[in-house]
Structure 1
């Protein structure tokens, strides 16, 4: 979940801005939901909405509290964090998430790109919750412009497949992944939320896009 970027257009405030933008949209939605909604399954294997939110809050609080022991953000570490919150009320889980989304931004900015993937992952998980609840705006919304630029930087940091993305409504193509190889970059034509789904390994049912020069499985940016 970590990144390092040397992008000349890098904005250290972008991750925190994305988190605050998503906080203002997501937290009221979570506060208004009944307890039964937290038990709905998400696209993340084995995880309900509550599991996703517990993971998100714990991941951000690790940033806020500078707790990065060996194996942090591994599947095993994520499951331990969720288990530690098993006795918490849903409102307490949301309280922690709101605090993390508020306070983690400055700490991520100081990491000079190393922790930007945490903010991007949090935003994607917010989309997972909306998707599970059948709410509009999954993997889209007001944070999308910042999310796309973080995606581009993160894809380069993890050396993913080079991709030239022509995104509906965007004047300039978005360049993802490793550059400078001998093969031409793969080509994507479609909307931005679908590109997010492809890059994050989310379900593509009901989407329309064109992809040439790569397979869907080649485009993932999260391990």
Structure 2
């Protein structure tokens, strides 16, 4: 069986921006239609953060990318908490306005960064899944951007030197290769759907009733954000 290997392909600098705008077009209308009470819901994926907190963090991070502001801790937990606190008195609509602008404009800055910020686009897309999950909305860690997200995931795991993993995806035609073979570890094997694979690599909770097979690695070993 031949596995699609996106870790060593020529980088498409426009891919992160396309992922962000694709998710923008789906997520922002969904959020603008939700009542304010929904923004106060807790998120399972980000303990201690509400839906609004996640959105404020995402909006601030993308603004930092657009403006090239990575000083004072960059994307550290302290900087993230400060960004959220700075937006505490904003309306939900204003947070969404900033998020929409960021998802629209950050792609160009990410493209210019030569790959160093590609993971930001992937992280923003994962956080979109966190929000959908908390709201009980469909498409968490999936949707139209899934193909682009998997391409970025393969590239990020390769850059980070993660253990090579061969993924046979129930809902995708082509199997996928993630990670890097240079570490010398025996390749791991995953069988299941693509959204579950994203959850594992993002360190997100596994919903009840979802089954998958993972051999040759532990789920916690896959986490790219841990």
**What is the TM-score of this pair, normalised by structure 1?**
0.95
Task: Give 1:222 deviation, angstroms.
Answer: 1.2
1:11 aligns with 2:16: no
2:214 to 176, 195, 211: 211
Q: State the secondary structure of the residue aligned to 1:142.
A: coil
**Structure 2 residues not aligned, in runs of 5+:** 1-5
Q: Which residue of 1 aligns with 2:30?
A: 29
Give the drift of 1:133.
0.7
Q: Describe the SS at the equivalent of 1:78.
A: helix
**CA separation in 1, counterparts of 2:137 and 2:168?**
26
With over 3 angstroms needed to count, the CA separation of the structure-2 counterparts of 1:158 and 1:182, relative to structure 1, is: closer
Q: Give the 5 Å matches for 1:55-74.
A: 55-74=57-76
Distance (Å, rounded) in 2 between the aligned partners of 1:120 and 1:58:
15
- 1:41 corresponding residue in structure 2: 42
Inter-partner Cα distance in structure 2 for 1:15 and 1:161: 23
Q: How many angstroms does 1:95 deviate by? A: 0.3
Q: Structure 1: give runs of 5+ residues left out of the alignment.
A: none
- Asked if the contact 1:163/1:175 (under 8 Å) is kept, the reply is yes
Aligned residue pairs, count: 219
Conserved? CA contact 1:160–1:220, under 8 Å: no
Q: Name the structure 2 match of 1:91.
A: 93
Superposed CA RMSD: 1.3
Please name the residue that 1:185 is paired with.
187
1:169 CA drift (Å): 3.4
